[in-house]
C-alpha cells in the first residue's frame, strides 16, 4: 500500500467548505480552559462539516497562536460565535430549533452508540469544563444527555477526544439517514 500525498486527498478549499452542506450539529464549548483543546475541536468540526462552534465563558476565541497550533487553519473554515455565558448560547440554539444534548456522565444518560438522531432535527452538543464537566445548571436545560461508554479506570476523556468520538458517531448516523 502507498501513502497518499497531500494533493491526492481532495481537500476542500475554504470557499468550498463554506458552500458545502453541513451536518446539522453545533458544538457548544462551555468554559474550556485549554487552547490546544479548542483548536483541536475546531479541526475535528472541520473534518465532519459541523455547522458551527459556539464558544462560551472563559473559552478562548480566535485568533490566538495556541488555538491555531492545533486548529491548523480550521478557525477560518468553521463558523464560530462567542457568548459571554452558555445560557445565551443555549437560548439561541433553542430559538433556532436545535435539540440540546449534553455530553456527560449522568443519570438517565444514553450510551452514545444507542443514541438515535432523527431526520430533519438539528443538534447542539454541549461539552463542559475539562475538570468540572457540564454544570448541573446546563444539564437542567438539555433535552438529552449522551455518555461515551468507557471500560478502564479513568472514566473520562480529554475534551477534544470526546468531541472527536461524538462527532464521528453522530456523523455516521446522520449519513445513514
Note the pLDDT of residue 18: 96
pLDDT, residue 74, reads 97
Mean pLDDT by 10 residues, the chain (177 residues): 94 95 98 98 98 98 97 97 98 98 97 97 97 96 97 94 98 96
**CATH top class, domain 20-148+155-176:** alpha beta
Read off the pTM.
0.97
Residues 6/103, Cβ–Cβ less than 8 Å:
no
C-beta of residue 146 within 8 angstroms of C-beta of residue 110: yes
Q: Where are the alpha helices (DSSP H) in 48-85?
A: 65-71, 74-77
pLDDT number for residue 155: 87
The predicted structure's pLDDT at residue 116 = 97
Q: What is the largest CA-CA distance in the chain?
A: 51
Grid cell 468550498 is found at: 16
Amino acid at each position: 500500500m502507498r501513502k497518499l500525498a497531500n494533493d491526492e486527498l481532495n481537500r476542500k478549499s475554504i470557499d468550498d467548505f463554506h458552500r458545502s452542506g453541513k451536518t446539522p450539529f453545533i458544538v457548544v464549548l462551555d468554559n474550556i480552559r485549554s487552547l490546544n483543546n479548542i483548536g483541536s475541536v475546531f479541526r475535528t468540526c472541520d473534518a465532519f462539516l459541523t455547522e458551527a462552534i459556539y464558544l462560551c465563558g472563559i473559552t478562548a476565541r480566535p485568533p490566538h497562536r495556541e488555538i491555531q497550533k492545533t486548529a491548523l487553519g480550521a478557525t477560518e473554515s468553521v463558523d464560530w460565535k462567542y457568548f459571554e455565558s452558555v445560557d445565551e448560547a443555549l437560548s439561541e440554539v433553542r430559538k433556532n430549533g436545535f435539540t440540546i444534548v449534553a455530553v456527560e456522565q449522568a443519570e438517565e444518560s444514553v450510551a452514545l452508540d444507542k443514541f438515535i438522531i432523527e431526520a430533519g432535527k438539528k443538534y447542539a452538543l454541549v461539552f463542559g469544563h475539562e475538570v468540572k464537566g457540564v454544570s448541573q445548571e446546563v444539564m437542567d436545560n438539555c433535552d438529552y444527555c449522551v455518555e461515551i461508554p468507557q471500560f478502564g479506570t479513568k472514566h473520562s476523556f480529554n475534551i477534544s477526544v470526546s468531541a472527536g468520538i461524538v462527532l464521528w458517531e453522530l456523523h455516521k448516523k446522520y449519513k445513514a439517514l
